[in-house]
Chains A and B, each alone.
Chain A
């Protein structure tokens, strides 16, 4: 629930109870996410109308200096973050994020930003479908073609960029292909075209396609036709079904959801499920969630910057509204993620947002997280277009509560788990209150020290990991 979601809140807890427990809820999330009404998350798309503009329109607006592409891409990041806060279909959302990171097209880029939102929507449609269909949709998508130089690659001198990264990052993995494979891969992909800087229309140009026999690993094709779309489809299907791809995809899944350097035996088992089910994604996730490696590693994975921000909003139960000014919370949320080290899909390299803890366990990340948690615990920033709960939510006017019980109540509310002994000790150190001290609405903790208690809970390993 925590790893395939964005942090437990009251709505999620209710959904799980209604479904009859976590396993039943997970199954329903996998097979019929539509059965969870998601109006609150869907409504957010209308907050940023530029997200639904066509490529040519976005480009015109950039050229005429109405609105820069980078601003539209900031909206895209905000939309993703707020959507993740609100959605009742966290598994679909998490898998969209996972594939969008693995089949990465960065949000920065003067050309491909025009197609970037559509690219994300495409990934979302396939996120719980089949990897072979997902791979075909992403590899031939204008955003990917533009980003990895295949949109203008021709038979005269095929550009190797997408041909290589398709093999290394999206399918077989590093070290599993040679330079001849790259060249053939690049030749297969010639002909796919995007009309850059003008109409931005995607088309297929037969005159640009490099015909003649191709061979990549065990894939061979006479490739006689000027229209190479058929070859492309067969090639991508071959790659998606390759055992090395199964290994590569499942290793990334296990790294994201279990641990850095995941057990080989688990990766092998998942790869088998992947191949047996014709690259269908759901059976693999089912097997992953049922594995003892997954169950025994609960709470071991560090949340990445975006996950930390979203989980913090959900834990505090803040309400975020439509942006009305520059510093509205639904705008500022992007700067918060940036301060922690990364905004959604802004990783500058083609290998996509890292899924290893090693990358995110850094001092700058730690300082960023403490800053985020502290400023939100106090309700200091963001302060516009956002509603925070006040200490009234935890301290009743009727009778005083012992400090250790209050820490427990806050922990159950924010983290949905009782307070560990260490957390009570930590809160004691943070506030100076003694475990058995009575807290009421006249107490200094209630009056002005409450942010220290909330921050101590948010800064704990229980919140930073999932």
Chain B
């Protein structure tokens, strides 16, 4: 058995470094081409003049970039926040009125008295306190007992299935990619994934931009004449995956200038120094810059708590739930007036088993909770119908609301698209979470 243990903080993600590890760009700034080129523009551009012929002195200039704001700013934005590893919805939104919950989880159960925003059935984990103002203001809701039609306890198969969202179809397209196909915008940034890879939900015919950090989304060495971009475009003619990625990168980076020029916000509720906090701070810059992004994916990891999910005093649940809550709270505070346009949905590949295991953790399960926050949400309440829990070694929370019903309600209300195009063959049930 694992005892609760104090562990020194170690950064969860690159970028969440304590000092002593210079940020790449900073280090580069210090060691930039200044010595060589007499310019202090780290990562800035070097214009070569008309050509390299002759021996005239080179001229240096800042990169010219397109400041065009493509889509009309002011449209709806959807942020899909994936809780990777299968979050324990029974800890995040606790069914305190179901006695089985307390019987099945003698050590992990959250005491009734500690719950926030309780109603007759549910209450929020105390680590979600930063979200209380949104809950009270009616801009945050939870839908419980959601998930896929059939259980699938494989992380990877479940993630793919939930992100394709087209059971029975052999086509490998993600539901967000299909949504993009229905939206009229033309920005190369219309669909953007925060991180290093596009998730399955964005795979498909529509281009998706992928960005690790906003400040790095530029073509190094782009020059005033556009020679570097022209040569890259020439080198990567063709239809291979990478050719497309290079071209998307070039057009995306050009359009991205306005986002790079938009400073990071400093909301009253500060962003945590976590990977998620950083990513949402960048998402806010993208939204506020008006570069035409309409669909954005963000990930939060570390939800696969087979061990050490812990209690109210210690453990991974308290830490990760707190990170989730303060990141989302900071994000909406940071958006300012743009918050009127942004809806955020959390989604996990599946939930956890009802009964706790021997390691202060839980194994893979089925039904789960989804949070819906921001524009158009009828918040401050819990949605879904509760199936009741059972306490056997293999019992799961059953699914009473198909997760696609929640997503369908969000995208039809916020984007005016039809369900049939995004979720082929699916007949959604009314959830009521969206106005």
Q: Are B154 and A168 in contact (CB under 8 A)?
A: yes
Check A196–B245 contact: CB distance below 8 A. no
Segment at the interface with B among A19-27, A37-45, A223-231, A339-347: A339-347
Instruction: Let me know if B217 and A364 touch, CB within 8 A.
Output: yes
A464 at the A/B interface (Cβ < 8 Å)?
yes
Which of chain B's residues have a CB closer than 8 A to the CB of A451?
221
> With a CB–CB cut-off of 8 A, which chain B residues contact A136?
none
List which A173-212 residues lie within 8 A (CB) of chain B: 174-175, 179, 182, 196-197
CB proximity to A under 8 Å, residues B249-274: 249, 252-253
Cβ of A368 within 8 Å of any chain B Cβ, yes or no, is yes
Q: Measured between alpha carbons, how far is A59 from B388 in the docked complex, in Å?
A: 44
- Asked whether B416 is an interface residue with its Cβ less than 8 Å from the other chain, the reply is no
Whether, in the assembled complex, A327 has its beta carbon less than 8 Å from a beta carbon of chain B, the answer is yes
Per a CB cutoff under 8 Å, which of B156, B197, B241, B242 touches A341?
Answer: B197
The reply to whether the CB of A161 lies closer than 8 angstroms to some CB of chain B is yes
**Which residues of B from 226 to 248 have beta carbons under 8 Å from A?**
227-228, 230-232, 234-237, 240-246, 248
Output the nearest chain A residue to B32 by Cβ-Cβ distance. A380
In this complex, what residue of A is CB-closest to B21? A326
CA distance A338 to B37 in the complex (A): 27
B31 to chain A: which residues have CB within 8 Å?
327, 380-384
CA gap between A98 and B172 in the complex, in Å: 26
Select from chain A the residue with minimum beta-carbon distance to B34.
Answer: A380
Give A318 to B146 CA distance when docked, in angstroms.
Answer: 55
Which residues of chain B come closer than 8 Å to A362, judged between CB atoms? Answer: 193, 196-198, 210, 245
- Residue A28 interfacial (CB < 8 Å): no
Assuming the contacts A349-B85, A380-B32, A432-B50, asked whether A364 and B242 have C-beta atoms less than 8 A apart, the reply is no
Distance of A156 Cα from B209 Cα, bound (Å): 48
Main secondary structure of the interface of B (DSSP, over half): loop
* B301 close to A (CB within 8 Å): yes
Minimum CB–CB distance from B39 to chain A (whole Å) comes to 11
Residue contact B55 to A442, C-beta cutoff 8 Å: yes
Find out whether the CB atom of B358 lies under 8 angstroms from the CB atom of A153.
Answer: yes
CA distance A437 to B55 in the complex (A): 14
Residues of B with C-beta under 8 A to A110: 7, 10
Among A169, A346, A364, A426, contact of B234 (Cβ-Cβ < 8 Å): A426
- A302 within 8 Å of B (CB atoms): yes
Q: Which residues of A contact B24 (CB under 8 A)?
A: 335, 338-339
Contact A65 B231 (CB under 8 A): no
Chain B residues with Cβ under 8 A from A13's Cβ? none
Interface residues on A, range: 35 or more
Binds B, one of A85-93, A119-127, A273-281, A351-359: A351-359
A408 at interface (Cβ–Cβ under 8 A)? no
Residue of A70, A370, A432 touching B220 (CB-CB under 8 A): A370
Q: Please tell me if the beta carbons of A448 and B241 are within 8 angstroms of each other in the complex.
A: no
Complex: A361 Cα to B203 Cα, angstroms: 12
Query: B211 at interface (Cβ–Cβ under 8 A)?
Result: yes
Asked if B3 CB lies within 8 Å of chain A CBs, one says: yes
Stretch at the interface among A239-247, A286-294, A371-379: A371-379
Instruction: Using A365-B245, A433-B51, A444-B52 as known contacts, say yes or no to A164 and B153 having CB atoms under 8 A apart.
Output: yes
B residues near A (Cβ < 8 Å) are 1-3, 5, 7-8, 10-12, 14, 20-22, 24, 27-28, 31-33, 36-37, 43, 48, 50-56, 58, 84-85, 153-157, 193, 195-198, 203, 208-212, 216-221, 225, 227-228, 230-232, 234-237, 240-246, 248-249, 252-253, 301-302, 304, 306-307, 355-359, 361, 363-364, 393-394
A152-B1, A161-B304, A164-B153 known, 10 other contacts, Cβ within 8 Å = A70-B11, A157-B355, A175-B154, A339-B212, A346-B14, A363-B208, A426-B231, A443-B52, A452-B227, A459-B231
